Amino acid sequence: MAKYTETFAEYLEGGGALPSSSFSLIEGFEDLFKERYCGCEIGFETEALFALKLDYKARAVMPSYGYKLRIVGKQLQALQNTPEKMRYETRNYGKQHSETKSDGSNTDLPFDAATATPSSLSNTNGSADADAHTDTTEYKDDLSADERLRVIEELTRKSSSIIEDCLDEFKPLFMGVY
């Protein structure tokens, strides 16, 4: 360590504070932050400048990471409350064709009955086409114990990854090791 540097632990011992209002958006984040960066050297000339940059960074990044963690938490809660998975079955039907036929005849007889041939004759036939259509049926299936464990592990891994990514956002505030 250089002669005129200060570690984050020394900063805290000297009365330095963390941006508690921003860090409170993620439960337990303040302790994780202290544990991760306690041995790191502050990357600014003065404690006041470090405190200002730390507060700025916390207000800039903490809300989005807190939001992501709340979404994962809601997914875990939903998994505990309703352990169901949705399954959809869609059926496609081709074109429908229906034919209606009515043999109607209309005959106009001539005015002169001596020639017994009609002057007009009409027939009526009909058909109708309909476009293709689909219907979807929704099924709810309970998750098996194995599926539930897999989903819980995935969500827990995602939560840990979000917290690690959030902690990494603060690396530029500390001195790098070269």
* Cα gap 64→104, rounded to integer Å: 74
pLDDT of residue 69: 94
pLDDT of residue 1: 44
Judged by average pLDDT, the poorest of 6-15, 64-73, 94-103, 126-135 is 94-103
Q: Between the CA of residue 6 and those of 10, 38, 77, 150, what are the distances in Å? A: 6, 11, 43, 44
What is the torsional sign of CA 20, 25, 27, 30?
A: negative
pTM of the model: 0.61
Q: What average pLDDT is seen over the chain?
A: 79
Pick the residue with more confidence: 15 or 122? Answer: 15
Above 60 in pLDDT, residue 123? Answer: no
**Mean pLDDT confidence for 135-163:** 82
**Mean pLDDT confidence for 9-16:** 92
Residue for token pair 């464990």: 149
Query: Chain centroid to CA 9: how far?
Result: 39
Judged by average pLDDT, the poorest of 7-11, 122-126, 153-157 is 122-126
Above 80 in pLDDT, residue 8? Answer: yes
pLDDT of residue 99: 59
Angle, CA 58 vertex, CA 53 and CA 61 arms, to 5°: 120
pLDDT of residue 150: 87
**Mean pLDDT confidence for 114-138:** 62
**Mean pLDDT confidence for 122-135:** 62
Q: What are the residues facing 137 on neighbouring strands? A: 89
Sorting pLDDT into bands at 50, 70 and 90, what band is 77? confident
